[in-house]
């Protein structure tokens, strides 16, 4: 049964605190298993990768079959309808347009002392993108991960995707073909992350790994961080809908289920100032579940992790939202922009009654790879910056070194680092 909390009832603060604690520890700890897999792949390479793929995906691979062939990629399009391919292309164009606008610009100037300073951005050389292939296939994730990398200027993009029983979703391959990915491997899970991070005989290592996955994939990304860069540790999907009683309960109920259907650990939260509306929405959720194809998954998610919070005013809701820091936030209320200004912590915000979260998963333009489990307090969604790094350049002239060098020497001496001080002093003629 879905949990209901009322802001004005005694004990709410404690109940909400406990809810926050449960929410941020919702995933299963699989670290020990994952570490063993990573170590095995690092040590045995392809042999370990093939063993795990056979065990978990029931697929026997060799060095000749691990990579998806060009023919397979091209043939995938023939299994997709023209309508679907057009929608995929439409989405890709919008995603590219949005992300290309956020490419950072370098900066160079000469300051008053005569020192020339510069900051420049360059793309990483290679990136690996993980595309889930378990409970559902996600061609949209191909676009959301690959297009920012392309916009950033990454030269080599590698895609790994599990192929249970040897089956690959044609639209996933069609999406890869659309964005120009030709290096695709039929592996998934922690073993795929290990291959991308450490390399095997068949898969050369990459610099950055991005993309969502299950608990094993998330734990593997956490373990390999430092050897490679990662986008984030993604947990179960989340949605928080702030809605008033002027909404149609059928709309809001379906919005909540749009994330609940991802998996059993996903979380849907409704905050409203109308108790009757809350009850009507919960009733409608049950009605929608009668004919939803993924009803079993969505029902478990809603009953186990769904929460309804009733407040007296939306002013009470704002601090709750900032504490929750949801992955997706829908403001299905009047004047949503006024409240959005007060929201500091959210992965992506959807404004108004006509902007369902699902539009952001596919065609809006911003990325759908977003921070979860409260990490929107300190992190952002996937962007071109995840595939770029900044270098700084410094150039001193004789005159500028004369001005800034002695101060640097003073600080170095205070820290007890005499070689630092002398490396400057020797250029200033201060020989001892």
- Could you list the active site residues? 327-328
Paired with 158 in beta bridges are 128, 183
Q: What share of the chain is helix, strand, coil (3-state, %, to 5)?
A: 50, 15, 35
Rounded-to-integer distance, Cα 420 and Cα 411, Å: 9
User: 319: how many CB neighbours lie within 10 A of its CB?
Assistant: 10
Decide: 174 and 143 in contact? Cβ < 8 Å. no
Decide: 292 and 301 in contact? Cβ < 8 Å. no
Rounded-to-integer distance, Cα 292 and Cα 421, Å: 70
Helix (H) or strand (E) holding 130: strand 126-130
Q: Which residue from 296, 300, 286, 297 is spatially nearest to 254, judged by alpha carbons?
A: 286
Decide: 326 and 238 in contact? Cβ < 8 Å. yes
Strands 116-123 and 107-110: antiparallel
Sheet with strand 126-130: strands edge to edge: 183-185, 156-160, 126-130, 208-210, 229-230
**Residue 131 carries which DSSP code?**
-
Instruction: Dig out the tokens for 91 from the structure.
Output: 């989405």
- Residues written for the chain: 432
CA dihedral for 331, 337, 342, 346, sign (positive or negative): positive
Rounded-to-integer distance, Cα 298 and Cα 382, Å: 26
CA dihedral for 409, 413, 417, 423, sign (positive or negative): positive
Decide: 126 and 155 in contact? Cβ < 8 Å. yes
Instruction: Dig out the tokens for 231 from the structure.
Output: 């986008």
Q: What are the C-alpha distances in Å from 104 to residues 30, 93, 110, 229, 261? A: 37, 20, 20, 19, 36
Rounded-to-integer distance, Cα 146 and Cα 172, Å: 12
């Amino acid at each position: 049964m879905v949990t209901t909390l009322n802001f004005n009832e005694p004990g709410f603060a404690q109940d909400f605190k406990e809810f926050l604690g449960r929410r941020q520890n919702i995933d299963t700890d699989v670290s020990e298993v994952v570490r063993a897999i990573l170590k095995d792949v690092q040590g045995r390479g392809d042999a370990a990768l093939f063993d795990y793929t056979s065990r978990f995906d029931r697929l026997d691979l060799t060095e000749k079959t691990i990579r998806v062939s060009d023919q397979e990629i091209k043939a995938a399009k023939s299994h997709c309808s023209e309508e679907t391919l057009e929608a995929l292309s439409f989405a890709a164009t919008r995603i590219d347009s949005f992300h290309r606008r956020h490419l950072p610009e370098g900066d160079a100037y000469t300051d008053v002392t005569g020192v020339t300073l510069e900051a420049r951005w360059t793309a990483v050389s290679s990136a690996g993108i993980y595309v889930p292939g378990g409970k559902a296939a996600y061609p949209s994730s191909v676009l959301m991960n690959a297009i920012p990398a392309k916009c950033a200027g990454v030269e080599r993009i590698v895609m790994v995707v599990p192929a249970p029983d040897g089956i690959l979703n044609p639209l996933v391959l069609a999406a890869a073909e659309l964005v120009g990915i030709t290096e695709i491997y039929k592996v998934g899970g922690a073993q795929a992350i290990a291959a991308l991070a450490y390399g095997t005989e068949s898969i050369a290592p990459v610099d950055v790994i991005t993309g969502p996955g299950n608990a094993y994939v998330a734990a593997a990304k956490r373990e390999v961080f430092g050897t490679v860069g990662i986008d984030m540790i993604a947990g179960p999907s989340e949605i928080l809908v702030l809605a008033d009683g002027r909404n149609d309960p059928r709309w809001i109920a379906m919005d909540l289920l749009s994330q609940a259907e991802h998996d059993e650990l996903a979380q849907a939260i409704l905050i409203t100032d109308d108790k009757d509306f809350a009850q009507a929405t919960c009733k409608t959720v049950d009605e929608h579940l009668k004919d939803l194809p993924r009803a079993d998954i969505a029902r478990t998610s809603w009953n186990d992790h769904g929460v309804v919070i009733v407040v007296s005013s939306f002013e009470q809701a704002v601090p709750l939202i900032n504490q929750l820091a949801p992955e997706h936030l829908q403001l299905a209320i009047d004047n949503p922009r006024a409240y959005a200004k007060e929201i500091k912590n959210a992965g992506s915000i959807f404004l108004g009654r006509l902007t369902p979260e699902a539009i952001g998963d596919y065609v809006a333009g911003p990325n759908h790879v977003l921070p979860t489990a409260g990490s929107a307090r300190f992190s952002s969604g996937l962007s071109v910056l995840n595939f770029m790094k900044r270098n700084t350049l410094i150039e001193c002239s004789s005159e500028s070194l004369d001005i800034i060098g002695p101060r640097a020497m003073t600080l170095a001496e205070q820290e007890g680092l005499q070689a630092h001080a002398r490396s400057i002093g020797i250029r200033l003629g201060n020989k001892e």
